Amino acid sequence: MKEALSLEPGMAVADIGAGGGAMSVAMAKVLGLSGHVFATDIGKEQLAEIREYVMREGLSNIDVVEGAANATNLPRGCCDAVFMRDVYHHLTNADEMNKSVFAALKPGGRLAVIDFEPDPGSPLPRGVPENRGGHGIRPSLLIAEITASGLRHVKTIARWPPDGRNPIYLVLFQKP
């Protein structure tokens, strides 16, 4: 992730849908004390788990933010980079969330979305649009939805990580 987002110490990064906070903690260590991580989630249990993890690790450069189904709730222009890992296919209002991500990014900021292709006929997560084709999302649909918010598609890496065995992909975007 560090390479994909061109992360350097001192940058500000948001982990949207941070779950238990493992990636947020890893990013905070990469960015160092001069950097900052916004760890967001919409689940109360996940937010509590992230806060506990951050305290255990003794990190002062992570803010835990309660997100919403249609908004990051991040300050405008706060982030050099944003990433979502296994989150995008769960969005029930992708258009509004994409606008919120766009607003949170600084000019030139990057967005990385890691997700997986849908398994045809698999049940959709609750509230997710029918156009997904099953649990997951096709990269072409993801790109169409995110570029509609104003972000520019940079590249798609069909297998992430490149030496990984899981059938997941990474799509990278940049704010003009």
Domains of the chain plus CATH, in order, are 12-174 (3.40.50.150)
Task: Provide the token pair at 53.
Answer: 């993890």
Q: Over the stretch 30-76, which tens digit does the pLDDT of each residue have?
A: 999 999 999 999 999 999 999 999 999 999 999 999 999 999 999 99
The predicted structure's pLDDT at residue 6: 87
On the question of pLDDT at 1 being above 80, the answer is: no
The per-residue pLDDT for 165 is 73
Q: Residues 6 or more apart from 143 whose CB is under 8 A from it?
A: 153, 156, 171
Residue 145's pLDDT is what? 97
pTM summary value:
0.94
| Cα–Cα dist 172/5, whole Å | 8
